[in-house]
Amino acid sequence: EAGVAQSPRYKIIEKRQSVAFWCNPISGHATLYWYQQILGQGPKLLIQFQNNGVVDDSQLPKDRFSAERLKGVDSTLKIQPAKLEDSAVYLCASSLDLEVSYGYTFGSGTRLTVV
């Protein structure tokens, strides 16, 4: 089966610019997650979708970050305006259902550098 697709792989932007990341989960996976991984740290959950509804966005900096999952399939994460501290790898993951027992599958991530 095809994995979780993410694009772009790399992005360099100047601070105060905007950027968008795209994720296409595994077909049939209802739950989609966006994680932020800062160098040297574990991934931190930003937002979790179940189909096209938000389950958890408590750690999403909503003043600058937004995400949507229209039609319950692929998803877009946007940062506007970007700050230097947003430099990180943004990982998308999907699972069959909210029951994490089915396990996560991660995409390859987008490495963002804000200069």
Partner 1 sequence: GIQVEQSPPDLILQEGANSTLRCNFSDSVNNLQWFHQNPWGQLINLFYIPSGTKQNGRLSATTVATERYSLLYISSSQTTDSGVYFCAAPGGYQKVTFGTGTKLQVIP
Q: Does 62 bind partner 1 (CB under 8 A)?
A: no
Give the span between the Cα atoms of 48 and 94, in whole angstroms.
Answer: 9
Q: Could you say whether residue 56 binds partner 1 (CB under 8 A)?
A: yes
Helices (H) and strands (E) in the chain, counts: 0, 11
> In this complex, which beta carbon is closest to partner 1, that of residue 13 or of residue 45?
45
Q: Can you spell out the DSSP letters for 5-45? A: EEE-SEEEE-TT--EEEEEE--TT--EEEEEEE-TTS--EE
Would you say 87 or 108 has its CB closer to partner 1? 108
Instruction: Considering only the stretches 16-24, 63-71, 79-87, 99-107, report the one whose residues sit in contact with partner 1 under the rule CB under 8 A.
Output: 99-107
Q: What are phi and psi of 72, to 5 degrees?
A: 70, 20
Q: Which range touches partner 1 (CB under 8 A), out of 16-24, 60-68, 72-80, 85-93?
A: 85-93
* SS3 (DSSP) at 71: helix
Distance of closest approach, residue 65 Cβ to partner 1, in angstroms: 17
101 contributes a contact to partner 1 by CB under 8 A: yes
